[in-house]
Structure 1
Amino acid sequence: MPTDGHDLRHHGDAEVRDDGAALVDLAVNVRADTPPAWLQEVIADSLAGLAAYPDGRRARAAVAARHGVGVERVLLTAGAAEAFVLLARALKVRQPVVVHPQFTEPEAALRDAGHTVDRVLLREEDGFRLDPAAVPEDADLVVIGNPTNPTSVLHPAAAIAQLARPGRTLVVDEAFMDAVPGEREALAGRTDIPGLVVLRSLTKTWGLAGLRIGYVLASPETIADLERAQPLWPVSTPALAAAESCVGPQALAEAAHAAHRVAADRAHLVAGLSRIAGLRVVEPAEGPFVLVRLPGAAAVRRRLRDLGFAVRRGDTFPGLDEEWLRLAVRDRATVNSFLRALETALTPADR
């Protein structure tokens, strides 16, 4: 879906599987290793129940308990991406606005559902930070990511809350919030903000992109509208088992530890990138990825592929052009190898 030169349906996985090459993946914002052994066991054990239709009640209750809300405020989905489709189809909106640069699937889903979508483009000179006053007053649906993909900007919760209005649905994509230590600035679980809809994903931290599991937190009325638009049994039994386990106390403690590890690995990546002349990192970065600007980035990305590394092109995001790349945070050994490859990929003209 190219729109104004931006391919809204291009995602990081395309960078890895374009030509079947064995590439080190810095393009996809999902943990690079497999799910932990205990989670693999949970999923494997669930296979004994595949003859029965999926029953999401326990998983739904577990998610509700994790965020301190009633089950009527929770909807389980086949990944956060399904939630964008449900919102686009179920909500009666006239003036949807998407705050960019951000994950492009919300706008693509809205356009597929026949909506005309307005954009608010955050500016590089402002650090891609939200100015609530930039959002038109007549917008009755506003979508924003926090922390935002691909900028890695973590917007203050208070600034996002300023976007709430009577008669407006405020959708906050918190797919990467569990990678932020302490989940500071999170709005998940808040019931005092009118029209608030929060989306969460369980595929990123837990390496479950192939299983598809996420959820929506919203008012009971909104949840009911979305549920009516959802097909029967949309979340598989293995995904439900994973969801129930991933919001339990032990898993939350493990995710909190992983968030601190990501922060340390990200600092190592940013420090290495900052030593490269001509390259600019958007800071402070708070997600499990960083956004960089580099002259000749398109050519550098192709050279990196030849050297065995996949990175995410930035020009498919509204508000960015061919000089931008998104890099997923990886462990220090992988980052060190990547930094060496990046130095090799750079020519004097790129610096």
Structure 2
Amino acid sequence: MDRDALTRTDRVPHGGTNDRSVVDFSANTNPESPAGVTPVYDAARAAARRYPSDGYAEFRTAAGEYLDCDSQQVVPTAGALAGIRLVCAIAVDPGDRVLLPEPSFGEYAREVRLQGGTPEFVPHDTIFEADPTGYALAIVCTPNNPTGELPGRCEREAFAARCRSADTPLLVDEAFLDFTDASSLGSQSGVIVARSLTKVFGLPGLRAGFLVATDEWREALETARPAWGLATPAAAVGAHCLECTDFLDRTRERVASERDRMADRLGSRFTVHPSDAPFLLVDVSSADDVGVDALLETAREAGYAIRDARTFRTLESHVRIAVRRPAENDGLLEALDV
């Protein structure tokens, strides 16, 4: 980490609220979790009186089977963000340029800056057409946060191939890919995939995730990762959740159905971006009678929190709304008068 960068790098605003009196549509996490999490957590909490086994064999096996990859390609991390920092720490030196989409998850640029690198932004809808030559690292988010689109497999693979030809490592954040039936880019040479278990399984405070990498990148990440970096309860619950395929199927069905229904209702008043993710990006500028601040306040007064998307680069009149359970979605839509 570049110590000089610490004085000129700010923290990044996020969704999520600690106010239990409101329904949280500002964070893109599943409102439901798989059955059986509590007894698994309780058993692991008792085992946490000892250090975890640093090999994480059970967790790696579950993750490998989940993504159909070699378990030795799995690098356990305390959430996807810990993995993103680990990749940036290895790939980015002071003065390096890193290719990023905009708007997208603000932590990418922050992590690059903390290493002394320079983020160079490309519009999110053209980044897969960008030339990765000369960059220390390229980062993409699939589906992209906050816009929600997921490029097709061919487009993603073509960009990965161009990165390999340019000798530019590619970090693919697949934190929301679990909400789709699309396949991962994991196990491709030169590609590092970051996965979050806390989004789709509704356990953001657990801090569980992993990276998938091959060849010299796998070796580098395995060497550099912190010892005991994944807590015993997180590893146990994570392994359990990764085996809950029926839960995933039900979640994907609900999210797809509710997302389409919410987009139709919201589209009667606002401009809604097409989304493959468990959230919708909404441009309120098409409604003459309301702005972002007023909409945030209207939602809050009715007991709902939605995300002020103006904190993302290039977005000036947008909110982001998560997809939750049908009754909760109905309540928010009614409060927003759509």
Percent identity over the alignment is 30
1:272 pairs with 2:265 = yes
Alignment partner for residue 145 of structure 2, among 122, 145, 149? Answer: 149
In the alignment, structure 2 segments of 5+ residues that lack a partner are 1-8, 286-290
- Mark the CA change 1:78 to 1:106 in structure 2 (over 3 Å): closer, same or farther: same
Q: How does 1:300-311 map to 2 (within 5 A)?
A: 300-311=295-306
Q: Where does residue 10 of structure 1 map in the other structure?
A: 13
Deviation at 1:71, TM superposition (A): 2.7
Q: Alpha-carbon deviations, 1:154-177, whole Å to 9, x = none? A: 111221222232311111111111
Q: Give the deviation of 1:242 after TM superposition.
A: 1.3
- Matching of residue 39 in structure 1 with residue 42 in structure 2: no
8 Å Cα contact 2:104-2:146 kept in structure 1: yes
TM-score under structure 1 length normalisation: 0.85
Query: Matched residue of 1:97: which SS?
Result: strand
Q: Are 1:319 and 2:309 matched, yes or no? A: no
Residues 260 and 160 of structure 1: is their aligned pair in 2 closer, same or farther, counting only changes over 3 Å?
same
Question: 1:66 — aligned with what?
Answer: 66
- Within 5 Å, which residues of 2 pair with 1:184-223? 184=182, 186-191=183-188, 194-223=189-218
1:246 equivalent to 2:225? Answer: no
Q: 1:120 aligns with which of 116, 119, 122?
A: 122
Cα distance in 2, alignment partners of residues 39 and 188 from structure 1: 28
Map residues 55-204 of structure 1 onto 2, 5 A cutoff.
55=53, 56-92=56-92, 94-122=96-124, 129-164=125-160, 165-166=163-164, 167-180=167-180, 182=181, 184=182, 186-191=183-188, 194-204=189-199
Residue 130 of structure 1 contacts residue 155 of structure 1 at CA under 8 Å; is this kept in 2? no
Partner SS state of residue 101, structure 2: strand
1:294 to 266, 277, 284: 284
What CA distance in whole angstroms lies between the structure 2 residues aligned with 1:54 and 1:202? 19
Runs in 1 of length 4+ with deviation above 6 angstroms? Answer: none
Whole-Å separation in 2 of the counterparts to 1:326 and 1:43:
32
Q: Following the alignment from structure 1 to structure 2, what is the Cα–Cα distance between the partners of residues 256 and 110?
A: 35
Q: 1:312 to 1:206 in 2, by over 3 A?
A: same
CA shift at 1:92, angstroms?
A: 4.5
CA-atom RMSD in angstroms: 2.0
Q: Cα deviation per residue 1:172-204 (whole Å; 9 max; x = unaligned)?
A: 111111111x2x2x334443xx31111111101
Corresponding residue for residue 51 of structure 2: 53
Who is 2:5 aligned against? none
How far 1:287 sits from its partner (Å)?
0.6
1:26 aligns with 2:25: yes
Q: In 1, distance between residues paired with 2:215 and 2:135?
A: 22
Per the alignment, do residues 136 and 244 of structure 1 end up closer, same or farther by CA in structure 2, a change over 3 Å counting? closer
- Paired AA for residue 90 in structure 1: I
Conserved 8 A contact 2:10-2:110: no
Matches of 1:299 and 1:159 in 2, distance apart?
39
| Equivalent residue number for residue 3 of structure 2 | none
Partner of 1:348: none
Instruction: Please give the alpha-carbon distance, in whole angstroms, between the structure 1 residues aligned to 2:66 and 2:29.
Output: 22
Q: Report the Cα distance in structure 2 between the residues aligned to 1:335 and 1:7, rounded to whole angstroms.
A: 33
Alpha carbons of 1:58 and 1:335: their partners in 2 closer, same or farther (altered >3 Å)?
same
2:6 corresponds in structure 1 to none
Please list every run of 5 or more consecutive structure 1 residues that lacks an aligned counterpart in the other structure: 1-5, 123-128, 345-351
